[in-house]
Amino acid sequence: MQPKSRMGAREFEREQAGRDELAERITRLVAEDGSVEAAPGLDLFRYSSRTGPVYAVNEPSFCIIVQGSKELLLGNERYRYDASRYLLVSAGLPVVGRILEATKERPYLAVRIGLDPLVRKSYDKPLRIPSLARQLGMSTSGLHHHFKAVTAMSPLQFQKQLRLHETRRLLVAGDFDAATAGYRIGYDDAPQFSREYKRFFGEPPIRDVERLRGTQVG
C-alpha cells in the first residue's frame, strides 16, 4: 500500500480542470450515496457524509479521490489520501477505512480500478485504456489527459510502477531470484531492470529485499 503525491503548483490548474470533469461524470453516473460498477474492475463512489470505520480486505487496486478525503489503517500504520494523493494497493490487505471529508454540497467522490482484470495478470501488455474510456464516455486521449492530471503519470509510467511493486513482492516472498522475477513481469534486460528497480526503490533488488526481510524478522 503506497499513497503518492502528484506534481507541484505548476500543474495545479490543469489538474483542477481534470478533477472537475471527473467529479461531474461521477456525480452524473452515481446519483445517490453508494457505489456503481461502471465497467468490470472500475468502481465509482459517492458519499455525502463521513463514514466508518469499515473493516475490509483491500484487493489490489488503484484508487483516486476526486473530492474529499479518506483514511485507511493497516496494523499500526495510518494512510490518508485525498485529491492530491492517490492510493496504490499492490496486494490484498486487511484494512480499516473511513471517509473523513464529505458533505451534501461537496460529496466524497472516488474512482477505484481493480488491478486483477486490468493489469496484474498481464504486466507486459498495455493497459486497456480504450475500453475504460468508452465506459466513461470519454475519448482515449481525454482519459490519458485526466489520468496524467490526477496521477502526474502516463498510463505506461503507472504500469511500470505496478511491475516494479510486483517484482518486489515476488522477491520478498522468496519465490524467484532478481533476474527471474524481472523476466516474469516483462523485463528481458536484467541490467535495465536492476537500474529501474534501484531508481524507484533506492537500492538494488538484492540489497532492498535483504533490508525488507530483516525488518520483517525484527
CATH of residue 48 = 2.60.120.10
Residue 150's pLDDT is what?
Answer: 57
Split at pLDDT 50, 70, 90, the class of 44 is very high
Lowest-confidence range among 78-87, 93-102, 113-122?
Answer: 113-122
pLDDT of residue 122 exceeding 80: no
- Judge if 188 and 118 occupy the same domain: no
State pTM to two decimals: 0.57
Last residue of a domain, one of 127, 153, 179: 153
| Number of domains making up the chain | 2
22 close to 160: Cβ distance less than 8 angstroms: no
pLDDT of residue 48 exceeding 90: yes
- H-type alpha helices, the chain: 12-29, 129-136, 140-151, 155-173, 178-184, 190-201, 205-217
- Judge if 189 and 105 occupy the same domain: no
- Judge if 64 and 12 occupy the same domain: yes
Higher pLDDT, 212 or 194: 194
CA 128 to mean position of chain CA atoms: 15
Last residue of a domain, one of 153, 181, 205: 153
pLDDT of residue 152 exceeding 70: no
Cβ-in-10-Å burial (0-12, 13-18, 19+) of 8 comes to exposed
Last residue of a domain, one of 133, 153, 173: 153
Of 183, 170, 179, the C-alpha closest to 209 is 170
Lowest-confidence range among 23-37, 145-159, 166-180?
Answer: 145-159
- Judge if 178 and 96 occupy the same domain: no
Split at pLDDT 50, 70, 90, the class of 218 is very low
155 close to 125: Cβ distance less than 8 angstroms: no
Residue 61's pLDDT is what?
Answer: 81
**pLDDT, average across residues 68-89:** 83
* Mean pLDDT score across all residues of the chain: 78
d(CA 143, CA 132) in angstroms, rounded, equals 8
Cβ-in-10-Å burial (0-12, 13-18, 19+) of 126 comes to exposed
**pLDDT, average across residues 25-48:** 88
Domain limits for position 129: 2-153
* Triad 129, 11, 144: Cα angle to 5°: 10
